[in-house]
Structure 1
Amino acid sequence: MASTPNWAAIDSDPRFQALHRKKTTFLWSLMIISVVYYFLLPIGAAYYQDLFKTKIWGPVNFGILFALSEFVVAWTIAYVYTRKANRDFDAMSAEIVKTIK
């Protein structure tokens, strides 16, 4: 039967605190980028109507392309987080788990 981890020891470990700080900073950075980009659409549509009405190709205008780019940005942010988590955060947490039982 597997033993229960010593959560108090993990929480007080300076490596865990560093991991938590790094991860929190990184996630807040991604959140700020995504929120700013998200709100550019309604702000741009309200204050830069001529730009957003600009035809790009047939009935497709800049506003439609910008709205669709929201999906690209969301998937890019997910990809960036996944790479960072797999490369850095998982390695840091594995090291902590390996030494604390």
Structure 2
Amino acid sequence: MTKEQIEHVRNNPKYQKLVKERSKFAWTLSIIMLVVYYAFILTIAFDPSILGTKMGDGVMTIGIPIGIAIIIIAFALTGIYVKRANGEFDELSRQVKEELKDIA
């Protein structure tokens, strides 16, 4: 790419929107995951008896399903990101590329 093309992309409002929205969305999902994860870790650190509470008459504690739920939340957040990236973000990216072809 030439310097002119790079400047055109950087100044393109669609590219700026893409970068801004993608970054904001990624940070939002990251913060959600960090809050969930650190809530679990802080519970282990400061009140492990909560997670050690037995479920029913068996040996399984409430910490096991909560740990599994955290893993499921991580997969779900990844899926949410991929769905939006493959839809909205890819469409904006395609539009920026098309406009770049016009000036080439």
TM-score, normalization by structure 2: 0.84
**1:79 equivalent in alignment to 2:79:** yes
Structure 2 unaligned blocks of 5 or more: none
Structure 1 unaligned blocks of 5 or more: none
Cα contact 1:19–1:93 (8 A) shared by 2: yes
TM-score, normalization by structure 1: 0.86
Q: CA deviation at 1:96?
A: 1.0
Matches within 5 A, 1:13-92: 13-56=12-55, 58-92=58-92
Task: Report the aligned-residue RMSD.
Answer: 1.5
User: Which of the pair is proportionally richer in strand?
Assistant: 1
Moved over 3 A (4+): none
Of stretches 60-69 and 20-29 in structure 1, the one that deviates more from structure 2 is 60-69
**Whole-Å separation in 1 of the counterparts to 2:50 and 2:8:** 56
Cα contact 1:45–1:63 (8 A) shared by 2: no
Q: CA deviation at 1:69?
A: 1.7
